[in-house]
Amino acid sequence: MRVLLTGVSSWLGSRLARRLEAREEVEYLLALDLLPPREELERTEFLRFDLRSPLVYRILEGARVDTVVHLGLMATPRRAGGREELKERNVIATMQLAAACQRHLPLRKLVMRSTTAVYGSSPRDPALFAEEAAGRGRAGEGYARDALEAEEYVAALGRRRPEVCLTVLRFANFIGASIDSALSLYFSLPVVPTAFGFDPRFQLVHEEDALEVLEKAVLEDHPGVFNVAPEDILYLSKALRILRKIPLPVLPPLASAAASLLGRLGVVDISPEQVAFLLWGRVVDPGKFLREFGRILRYSSEGALRDFAARRAASPAEPRAPAWEEEVRRFLARLSGGSLGRGA
């Protein structure tokens, strides 16, 4: 199996690369991203690459890739340098990648990380979303819309190349001490702003479980679109009690203003669709996923949150350094021959 992995600069991407390079089945692993991986990788070949370039076909062909793992979708605009840039990177990159995959005949499999945000959040939502419920009417704007459009390109690839095994994994919100998901940051605030009079329902996927699912999808064949989430749910109120956090209720009309203020101050990046999420929440039906993948999740939503709380208590809030600092750290570590870097 010759694998191409996108989005390797994220925690999820780096860790998945680590797992895949440890597998015999994976003969060759090529990782692409604009930024280098978070951790030292052994036999993974890293190539600094902007997926929006049509050169991606030449790479697929040259490296004789048969499996593409697309983790490149990004949720938070500020990290990507603004909303427009984010849309480019999410949608245009997937468009190019899907087109290249279609032309690249030896391709056997494509695994794409998507999000349950494609269902949107509104008071008119059913209690649980099944996979068929996604659609333009629901997704709204922003990241959710990007993810949906990216999925559409991948689905089109599936129609034109039915022999390719396509797996689209719509993950519920990630949580974990290492992963930098929007909710992990939100839950790390000293006082947590909530919408006054609203208590959203949601599910949480533990970071280790997310890796497990991605790895399984790469190594085994599980074609289809899946909601990846545990069966149990949390209310925001219950989550904050578990985390021993103090909620700060904000009147909903002020919530968007408060969110953008927090964003501008660099405290936490909350986008408009995440404000909707904090009002209405979102719960998906993981039935199809659990039937196909079996008992793969080790953590329930509540278990994942309790694990997050325990780990946070053990090693309180390590500040997240920008990626370039990480590179400098690694450079210095190489110079001194010692290990100044953290965790790697």
Partner 1 sequence: MDEAADGLRDVLASVGRALEFLRARALGEYPLDPVGFDPELTAGIVAPAVRLLKAYFRVRVKGAARVPEEGPCLLVANHSGTLPLDAVVIAYCLYDEHPRHRIPRILAADLTFRLPFVGELARKTGSTLACEEDARRLLEKGEVVLVFPEGYKGVGKGYSRRYRLQRFGRAGYIQVAAEMGAPVVPVAVVGAEEAYPKVGEIPFLGRLFGLPYFPVTPLFPWLGPLGLLPLPSRWVVEFGEPMHLGGLEERGKEDPMALFEMSERVKGIIQEMLHRNLMERGHPFF
Write out the residues near partner 1 by the rule CB under 8 A.
123-128, 130, 196-199, 201, 231-235, 238-242, 252, 280, 283, 285, 302
CA distances 236 to 93, 164, 182, 204, 257, Å, are 34, 40, 14, 11, 20
Give the nearest distance from C-beta 118 to partner 1 in angstroms: 17
C-alpha span between 330 and 321 (Å, rounded):
13
> Nearer to partner 1 by C-beta: 124 or 295?
124
Using the minimum distance from each CB to partner 1, give the nearer residue, 19 or 238: 238
Smallest gap from Cβ 161 to partner 1, in A, equals: 32
Q: How many residues does the chain have?
A: 344
What's the min distance (Å) between Cβ of 220 and partner 1?
27
The per-residue b/e assignment along 76-111, b for 16 or more CB within 10 angstroms, e otherwise, is: bbeebeebeebbbbbbbbbbbbbbbbbebeebebbb
Nearer to partner 1, 47 or 313 (CB): 313
C-beta closer to partner 1: residue 16 or 234: 234
Among residues 39 and 125, whose Cβ is nearest to partner 1? 125
Cα 298 from Cα 205, distance rounded (Å): 10
Sign for the pseudo-dihedral over CA of 287, 289, 294, 300: negative
Which CB atom, from 211 or from 305, has the smaller least distance to partner 1? Answer: 305
Q: How far is the CB of 227 from partner 1 (least distance, A)?
A: 12
Instruction: Report the run of H or E that residue 84 belongs to, with start and end.
Output: helix 83-87
Question: Are 71 and 126 spatial neighbours (Cβ–Cβ below 8 Å)?
Answer: no
Q: Which two tokens stand for residue 194?
A: 């909530």
Burial state string for 179-192 with b = 16 or more CB within 10 A and e = fewer than 16: bebbbbebbbeeeb
CB of 289 to partner 1, least distance (A): 14
What is the closest distance, in whole angstroms, from the C-beta atom of residue 145 to partner 1 in the complex? Answer: 22
Residue 242 or 340: which CB sits closer to partner 1?
Answer: 242
Q: What gap in Å lies between CA 202 and CA 130, rounded to an integer?
A: 15
Shortest CB 260 distance to partner 1, Å: 21
Residues 188 and 286: their CA atoms lie apart, in Å, by: 27
